[in-house]
Structure 1
Amino acid sequence: MKIGVIAANGKVGRLIVKEALERGMDVTAIVRSANRTEAKKVIQKDIMALTREDLEGFDVVVDAFGIWDDEKMNLHSVTLNHLADILSGSSTRLLVVGGAGSLYMDKDHSQRLFETADFPKEYLPVSRGQGKSLDELRKRNDVKWTYISPAAEFDPEGKKTGSYVLAGEEFTVNEKGESYISYADYALALVDEAEKGNHIRERISVRK
């Protein structure tokens, strides 16, 4: 399997690269600056400079792009729309590293996590930005996308346990009432989805 990882230098991107390489996949790191991953194959380009030709031949492209600058939250939509446009009509699947804030709190899907009263204000801009990009992605029937939301507590330093719970559109917790996943176990879940391709044009979520 040929897999390209956009924003591979980021914390979650590097772990996705590592997980895919450990499974013997043909991995290309797609990075804006010098490659800091374990991948030997590299495309060094800004995400907005990527072309259809750049992404030809990949079975899966992972979009691990993220931004925290409140003034640039529109880039979640801008970059994801660009990737969808250049992958439109192709057989390449697009797996998106999403956020937890857009997960629904009820079966009617009338309220999202970031719309609850006690949602941390410091995470509101990024959650709204990611939520908007997901809303736009849902309209695309010309791209084989899968949006993968982590748990509310997304731990960059957490250990890889080798297990996770796969859920859907709704916010879920474990038996202790916790919504938690480490970056390493999230990477495991994402690469599993890359291999299996069970959730085309769906949003899924993962937690411990």
Structure 2
Amino acid sequence: MKIAVICANGKAGKLIVKEAVERNLDVTSVVRGDNQTAAQNVLKKDLFDLTTADLNGFDVVIDAFGAWTEDVLPQHSTSLKHLCDILSGTDIRLLVVGGAGSLYVNPEHTVQVSDGPDFPAMFLPLAKAQGKALAELRKRNDVKWTFISPAADFQADGERTGKYILAGEELTLNANGESVISYADYAIAMIDEATKGNHIQQRISVVAE
């Protein structure tokens, strides 16, 4: 299996690459600058400059793009649209590192985590930008996409336990009543989905056991 990880130098991207390499998968890091990942194969190119030809031959493309400041938050939508456009009509699967703010908190799927009164104001613009990108992605039936939301407490330096719970569109709590997962365990879930998953055109979520 050939996997490309876009924006691989980011915190999530590095751990996703590491997980894939440790499973002896054929991994290519797509980075703008010098490769800082465990991948031996490197494609040095900006996400927005990628073409269909660049991604031909890959089985799975993992989009680990992240934008945090308000001026670039719209790139969550524009970057995903670009990737969808160049993968349109192909059999290449697109797995997206998503956010938790767009997870639902009611069975009717009308209220999202980011709608809650206790949602941190500083994260609201990011949650809304990621939610908008997901809403636009849902309209694409020409791409084999999967959007993977982490738990609400997404811990960059959390430990790798090797265990997680696979859930769906709704915010899911573990046995301790927590919605938490480390980047390392999220990376496991991402590579599991890449190698074994079939959640085509679906949003799934993961939480630590």
TM-score over 0.5 (shorter chain): yes
Residue equivalent to 1:23: 23
The separation in 2 between residues aligned to 1:192 and 1:158, in whole angstroms, is 19
The one-letter code matched in structure 1 to 2:113 is L
Percent of aligned pairs with the same amino acid = 61
Tell me by how many angstroms 1:197 deviates: 2.6
Tell me by how many angstroms 1:71 deviates: 1.6
Where 1:181 maps in the other structure, the secondary structure is strand
The one-letter code matched in structure 1 to 2:89 is G
The one-letter code matched in structure 1 to 2:177 is G
- Which TM-score applies when normalising by structure 1? 0.99
The separation in 2 between residues aligned to 1:25 and 1:68, in whole angstroms, is 30
The separation in 2 between residues aligned to 1:157 and 1:72, in whole angstroms, is 25
The separation in 2 between residues aligned to 1:168 and 1:102, in whole angstroms, is 12
The one-letter code matched in structure 2 to 1:178 is E
- Output aligned runs, 1:1-208, within 5 Å: 1-208=1-208
- Which TM-score applies when normalising by structure 2? 0.98
The separation in 2 between residues aligned to 1:160 and 1:176, in whole angstroms, is 18
The separation in 2 between residues aligned to 1:35 and 1:22, in whole angstroms, is 17
The runs of 4+ residues in structure 1 deviating greater than 3 Å are none
The one-letter code matched in structure 2 to 1:25 is L
Where 1:114 maps in the other structure, the secondary structure is helix
Q: Which runs of 5+ in 2 are unaligned?
A: none
Counterparts in 2 of 1:176 and 1:197: CA distance versus 1, 3 Å: closer
The separation in 2 between residues aligned to 1:9 and 1:98, in whole angstroms, is 17
The one-letter code matched in structure 2 to 1:185 is D
Residue deviations 1:139-184, cap 9 Å, x none? Answer: 0000000000000000111111110000000011112221000000
Q: Which runs of 5+ in 1 are unaligned?
A: none
Paired residues in the alignment total: 208
Residue deviations 1:27-66, cap 9 Å, x none? Answer: 0000011100011111111110000000000000000000
